[in-house]
Structure 1
Amino acid sequence: MDLSIIIVNYRTYDLTKQTINSVINKNHSFEYDIYVVDSASQDGSLEKLQNDFSQAIESGLIKFLASAENKGFAYANNLALKEVSSRYVLLLNSDTVVLDNCLEDCMDYMQDNPQIGALGCKVTLPDGTLDKACRRSFPDVSVSFYRLIGLSRLFPHSERFGKYNLCYLDEDGIYEIDCLVGAFMMVKSEAIKQIGLLDETFFMYGEDIDWCYRINKAGWQIMYYGPARIIHYKGSSSQKKKSKLIFEFYRAMYIFYNKHYKKNHSVITTGMTYLGIGLICSLKLILNLFKR
């Protein structure tokens, strides 16, 4: 098998069906299969998807895995990663649409450049604007500080202050970056065998950055491939639990810092980092309550 595509479903029947169709309704030049992992949706979406794609299940094109409980994005993807045996793996969000020859172009580029461990395409929102999370720098202390205090928003095209989302780079270009977004991440299986599965300490944010960090440290390149594109209906699957999402976003910052940066910084820097994360998280949660 050339490519295994992993899609996590959590109460997103319509979106997941749309994502699957955006893949299987195209004629691909490579062999692939799809793993759909249901994170204990308990809303009937798993059963409806299995019924909709019964023929694809019979042919072996689509395999469904059901988790007994929702333990997060990393955990769900790992269930499938333990089953795949393909040369490449694609993590694909259930709220995306794959366009044109996106998969072929990404596969061809990775095969032509064997030093690439992970590759991401251009991810756009429904209005056509770039989903800025699709190309990022590692959130070290300075990069995170500029983001937390808002300088990255005030000066997005500054190579110093806008480094987090790399807004000063051509969104249609091809270049090496630090990390991709888990909505579309094509990874070489050889790299996965070397660095291991996703870290399940992260619930639904940060696991993609952590994976890229480990892939990069293992000596593999991480590439942004702008000519290929998907649409990301970002947030469509999680609007009802926004406070939970805010908490998990900043919790992921804390986990990532502890895992990769804490040992290289003083107690004072670590304390200031914890304080900054805690204050911003608290402020965001309070503002969210007023909005609701």
Structure 2
Amino acid sequence: MDISIILVNYNTREFIKRCLESVFASKTGFTYEVLISDNGSGDGSIQMIKEEFPKANLIENNSNLGFSKANNIAISKASGGLILLLNSDTKVESDAIDKAIGYMNEHPNVGIMGCKILLPDGTPDRAARRKFPNPSNAFLRLFGLKKFSDYNIETPLDQEVEVDSVVGAFLVIRRAVIERIGLLDEEYFMYGEDLDWCWRAKEAGFAVMYYPGATIHHYKYGSAQAIPFRTIRMAHEAMRIFYRKHYAADHSWVFNQFIYLGITIRQYFVLAINLFRAKKTVH
């Protein structure tokens, strides 16, 4: 099996239907399997998948285990030499999977690959290629000074480039890399697990690449739409976990408390903004 395509579903019936239609319509000569790890959906998703996508391997977890754990369950059952984590609220271009596999086969030094991501309005998602968050760029973003932050990479969006991290909406990783660095960290319930995986891959000597030759469409926040406030809390908790794991040991206790306080202030600021916005935002 060339690649195992893994989707986590939690009450995203219409999103995942569109996503699976695009996956099974893909044009590729490579072999693939599709595994869906369902976190106890109650919106008819499970029945729809069974009826309309019988070729998909459905894993019923019966409760919301979070993104990382649900993916890990599917990874443990997958047989592909490559693993693709694909968000249920995406639609892949017909050649995206084929190009992604071809790219990985041609670049054995690459451990993780992400693709070009288009938002619903057709504009490219700049977050598809990122540097790791750190105290300085996080501070600038916190106080509305994003243009001075180096979090997003400024090379042309159609240029292949090595990055610190790609996003979990479409993340291809080699099985050999997982065997080396381990599965997703299940301490991350939602958000942050992709950054953490890329950190560990680079730490182990693998390249993380942004490859715009493959393209998907991302409708964003599929599973998060119904629970925006809880989602905001989980996103900021992911920031705390990432900082604690990868930066806290290099700084004093006092400095770390300022960082955690800043994350908490930002969390409540985003919560306050969402009270007055029709279109919710997580970050």
TM-score range, shorter chain: over 0.9
Runs of 4+ in 1 over 3 A off after TM superposition: none
Q: Secondary structure of the residue that 2:130 maps to in structure 1?
A: coil
Aligned-residue RMSD, C-alpha: 1.3
Aligned to 2:171: 185
Please give the residue correspondences for 1:89-238 in structure 2 after superposition, counting only pairs within 5 Å: 89-152=83-146, 155=147, 161-166=148-153, 168-238=154-224
Q: Which one-letter code corresponds to 1:110 in the other structure? A: M
Q: Which one-letter code corresponds to 2:233 in the other structure? A: F
* Counterpart-to-counterpart distance in 2, 1:19 and 1:53: 11
The farther-off stretch of 115-124 and 16-25 is 16-25
For normalisation by structure 2, the TM-score amounts to 0.95
Aligned to 1:158: none
Q: Which one-letter code corresponds to 2:219 in the other structure? A: Y
Measured after TM superposition, the shift of residue 285 of structure 1 is 1.4
2:240 aligns with one of 233, 254, 263: 254
Please tell me whether residue 5 in structure 1 is matched to residue 5 in structure 2: yes
* Counterpart-to-counterpart distance in 2, 1:33 and 1:76: 17
Q: Which one-letter code corresponds to 1:233 in the other structure? A: Y
Measured after TM superposition, the shift of residue 243 of structure 1 is 0.7
Please tell me whether residue 269 in structure 1 is matched to residue 263 in structure 2: no
Q: Which one-letter code corresponds to 1:207 in the other structure? A: E
Count matched residues: 278
Q: Secondary structure of the residue that 1:240 maps to in structure 2?
A: coil
Q: Which one-letter code corresponds to 1:248 in the other structure? A: M
Please tell me whether residue 22 in structure 1 is matched to residue 22 in structure 2: yes
Aligned to 1:245: 231
Q: Secondary structure of the residue that 2:22 maps to in structure 1?
A: helix
Q: Secondary structure of the residue that 1:198 maps to in structure 2?
A: coil
Q: Which one-letter code corresponds to 2:137 in the other structure? A: V
* Counterpart-to-counterpart distance in 1, 2:276 and 2:214: 40
Aligned to 1:33: 33
The farther-off stretch of 90-99 and 107-116 is 107-116
Measured after TM superposition, the shift of residue 110 of structure 1 is 1.1
Aligned to 2:281: none
1:80 aligns with one of 74, 79, 91: 74
Q: Which one-letter code corresponds to 2:245 in the other structure? A: K
Measured after TM superposition, the shift of residue 209 of structure 1 is 0.5
* Counterpart-to-counterpart distance in 2, 1:79 and 1:218: 23
Query: Percent of counterpart pairs with the same letter?
Result: 42
For normalisation by structure 1, the TM-score amounts to 0.92
* Counterpart-to-counterpart distance in 1, 2:17 and 2:239: 32
* Counterpart-to-counterpart distance in 2, 1:23 and 1:240: 25
* Counterpart-to-counterpart distance in 2, 1:216 and 1:96: 26
* Counterpart-to-counterpart distance in 1, 2:235 and 2:70: 18
Please give the residue correspondences for 1:40-79 in structure 2 after superposition, counting only pairs within 5 Å: 40-54=40-54, 56=55, 62-79=56-73
